[in-house]
């Protein structure tokens, strides 16, 4: 057995203190709970963690793959009134004043 194999046998990584709580953390985040609120929940369960630790753990677990409560995405330019896509792929805006043409403004 090589030294590398012996080292790997001795140096097994654990799952971490937050691994058993992943489902609960995801559920809380889906409901819109902040990382600070998640930490308060974990503290009630006897786990000490900072919001930064929970954030980093979620990032390592592929938080982007998990559906988290977020604000809706902005509508694309093509849905914006008065906007269209030009031949160069850039948006073209047409000015359409709605004010009285006789106004001093």
How far is the C-alpha of 13 from the C-alpha of 2, rounded, in Å? 19
| pLDDT, position 67 | 54
pTM for the full model? Answer: 0.51
Give per-residue pLDDT as tens, 3-14. 888 887 776 666
Give per-residue pLDDT as tens, 26-63. 999 999 999 999 999 999 999 999 999 999 999 888 76
Write out the two tokens for 7. Answer: 């080292």
Segment 73-77 mean pLDDT: 60
How far is the C-alpha of 75 from the C-alpha of 60, rounded, in Å? 30
Question: What element of type H or E holds 91?
Answer: strand 91-93
Helices 35-44, 51-60: crossing angle, 10 deg rounding: 100
């Amino acid at each position: 057995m090589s030294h590398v194999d012996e080292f790997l046998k001795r140096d097994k990584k654990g799952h971490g203190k937050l691994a058993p709580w992943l489902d609960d953390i995801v559920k809380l985040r889906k409901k819109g709970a902040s990382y600070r609120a998640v930490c308060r929940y974990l503290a009630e369960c006897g786990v000490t963690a900072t919001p930064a630790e929970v954030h980093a753990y979620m990032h390592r677990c592929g938080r982007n793959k998990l559906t988290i409560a977020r604000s809706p995405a902005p509508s694309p330019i093509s849905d914006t009134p008065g906007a269209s896509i030009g031949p160069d792929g850039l948006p073209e805006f047409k000015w359409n004043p709605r004010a009285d043409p006789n106004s001093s403004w």
